[in-house]
Structure 1
Amino acid sequence: MARTASKVQELVKEDPEMEAALEYVLERADEGTVSWGDVSDELSSGQWGRLIETGILADSDGEGFDVADPEGVRDALEDDDLEFPDAPDTDSSWSKWDKLAAAGSVSMFAGYTFSAVRDPLASTLDILLGPLLELLPFFAVVMVLSLFTGMYSTLLQSNLMDMEVMGAYQNRMKEIQQRRKDAKERGDDEELERIQEEQMSAMADNLGMFKEQFRPMVWIMVLTIPVFLWMYWAVGFRGGTAHYELTTIVLPMAGEIGWTESILGPIQTWIVWYFVCSMCFTQIIRKALNIQTTPT
């Protein structure tokens, strides 16, 4: 039974429709031996071939095929402990707060272009960050901000993104790709057509995965864009008025360089310094708190 159960589970994992195919074969087998002609109206040639290949069907002296272990197959199909893959739940609808956060983050993007949006946000945040800048040099303030943004970004991703759902989406797509590869190797055109149809329907599920990924991002942007706009405002980015007199910074290979000087193509020093600090602190925080932000 254990070996038959593992075969049944493997077949159904490869192709969820195998469950119905096995039930149909069992039904026809109760009437005697089974041939391809008896089940071709319900099974694909690929499914029939896999039943023979795995030993679920055994040759009956050239007169057809018998189910090698009908009771084992029947028990396996009725066993609730066996995990047959279903399409992942795509119900990842956003709450009204998620939608408001998305609208807010999109609105704040205008601050990169229009000073009428940027200046009020930056001036408000300067009430908190201005005194900090009087105590610490600008590079240290950027490090503090990158530590802060790295912390809440990691926590938001961990709490708002369902890793099980994300993993289910990825596993389902991997299974479909593997079945497609196996069908190609067998030259099973009928199975390839069926898998192609399944892939097309699975594309709609990708929307659910995208929504799961993007949900924490809107909250991260709501908190990060004002911080970025404050730095933008403080250094006088793109020829704007600098609101603080900032000292230079010494960087490896670049040497002493100003905050608004280009360091990587058109990218200025303060942007590079922020992203380097942010990436480093984010990795340290994830390791320290043992937080998983990607599906396994």
Structure 2
Amino acid sequence: MARTAEKAESLASESQSMADALERVLAVADDKGTVQWSDVSDDITSGEWGRLIEQGILVDVDGEGFVVDDPEGVRDALGISAPEPGDDAGGSSSSGTSDSTSTSSSADSDDEDSGWSRWDKMAAVATIALFLGYSQAPIRNTVGGVLDIALDPLADVLPFYIMILVLAVFTGLNSTILQGKLMNMDKMGEYQEQMQEIQERRKAAKERGDDEALEEIQQEQMEAMGDQLGMFKEQFRPMVWIMLVNIPVFLWIYYMVQTGAMVAGEPPVMVLPIIGGIESWSDRIGPMWAWIIWYFVCSMSFTQIVRKALNVQTTPSSS
């Protein structure tokens, strides 16, 4: 029993989230007698749940749930007092209300952090509509014509290849800023650490031949699939807003080339390294048009420069 208290104290000292996890499972066990993953899945991560089982804080009782091995020792480690006798019903009611409110607030917070708001969904619909502009001339001409009102004065002054370069820098800056603002790298890092921890515990259990632990870890992996979906949503959400801005710019360039609205000048319109002179922006170099290749070269190059200059991280750091 004393060893359970020591383990609880060690876990609580690791991080505040582990201390909260201990307190949460203890509260549910006091209220219901046993605690199951479904009782606490909204409040703690599957990684924290697995640690509590692995350290022996939670003990399986014939498949009916888990009990806290040494409740008094865990309370001492957390510095909390035992519930007063007679408070179970009232305490359970108020606790249930409090837990419900807490869970609701947590769900609302998750929706804001990793869920898609109404504006995100509207942006996704608009992006899909803009995608159709690549194959539907009326949409492309409409978007290109509207943007041409703002971009035509600049296009009259600058050579077309410089115009493409300027727009590539703009779209690269836009992508970098939106990724930095909308992508939660801390949350994505937590997802990766959680999955890595489960994999490490699975490997250790496999090496020592612990079939029971392997079954529990496999169940955790299935439950963690929701976290994987959350990570995917974190990655894809900024892409919707990036494309909402970048696709119209791309369609304007397409519109200018297809309609011949831009002045190409005497051939060659540009000389590309290795490829050589380009007679027209609509010339094909392999499967792609020349203007697409020039746009992507400019965009990829300047996007990397902008990311370095603004110190924007686009991948979660591993701890």
Q: Same fold (TM over 0.5)?
A: yes
1:203-214 pair list within 5 angstroms: 203-214=225-236
Q: Secondary structure at the match of 1:187?
A: coil
Tell me which residue corresponds to 1:113: 135
- Unaligned runs of at least 5 residues, structure 2: 19-45, 64-69, 81-106
Q: Secondary structure at the match of 2:277?
A: strand
Tell me if structure 2 keeps the 8 A contact 1:90–1:205.
no
Tell me which residue corresponds to 2:30: none
Tell me which residue corresponds to 1:22: 56
**Shift in Å, 1:9:** 7.1
C-alpha change, 1:197 and 1:260, in structure 2 (3 Å) is: same
Tell me which residue corresponds to 2:165: 143
Matched residues in 2 for 1:276 and 1:97: separation? Answer: 32
What is the one-letter code of the residue matched to 2:270?
I
What is the one-letter code of the residue matched to 1:244?
M
Matched residues in 2 for 1:173 and 1:200: separation? Answer: 11
In structure 2, which of residues 308, 311, 315 is the aligned counterpart of residue 287 of structure 1?
Answer: 308
Tell me which residue corresponds to 1:202: 224
1:85-96 pair list within 5 angstroms: 90-91=110-111, 92-96=114-118
C-alpha change, 1:205 and 1:76, in structure 2 (3 Å) is: farther
Matched residues in 2 for 1:215 and 1:285: separation? Answer: 21
Tell me if structure 1 keeps the 8 A contact 2:183–2:235.
yes
- Unaligned runs of at least 5 residues, structure 1: 26-38, 43-69, 81-87
Deviation by residue 1:74-100 (Cα, 9 ceiling, x = unmatched): 5895279xxxxxxx9853222221111
**Shift in Å, 1:245:** 3.0
Matched residues in 2 for 1:76 and 1:163: separation? Answer: 35
What is the one-letter code of the residue matched to 1:212?
E
**Shift in Å, 1:262:** 2.3
Tell me if structure 1 keeps the 8 A contact 2:191–2:231.
yes
Tell me which residue corresponds to 2:78: 78
What is the one-letter code of the residue matched to 1:243?
A
Matched residues in 1 for 2:191 and 2:238: separation? Answer: 18
Tell me which residue corresponds to 1:164: 186
Tell me which residue corresponds to 1:152: 174
**Shift in Å, 1:22:** 3.2
C-alpha change, 1:171 and 1:18, in structure 2 (3 Å) is: closer
Tell me if structure 2 keeps the 8 A contact 1:101–1:219.
yes
2:221 maps to 1:188: no
Tell me which residue corresponds to 2:270: 249
**Shift in Å, 1:200:** 1.2
Deviation by residue 1:143-181 (Cα, 9 ceiling, x = unmatched): 110111111111111111211111111111111111122
C-alpha change, 1:24 and 1:197, in structure 2 (3 Å) is: closer
Matched residues in 2 for 1:273 and 1:98: separation? Answer: 31
| RMSD of aligned alpha carbons | 3.3
C-alpha change, 1:206 and 1:135, in structure 2 (3 Å) is: same
Matched residues in 1 for 2:162 and 2:283: separation? Answer: 18
TM-score by length of 1: 0.72
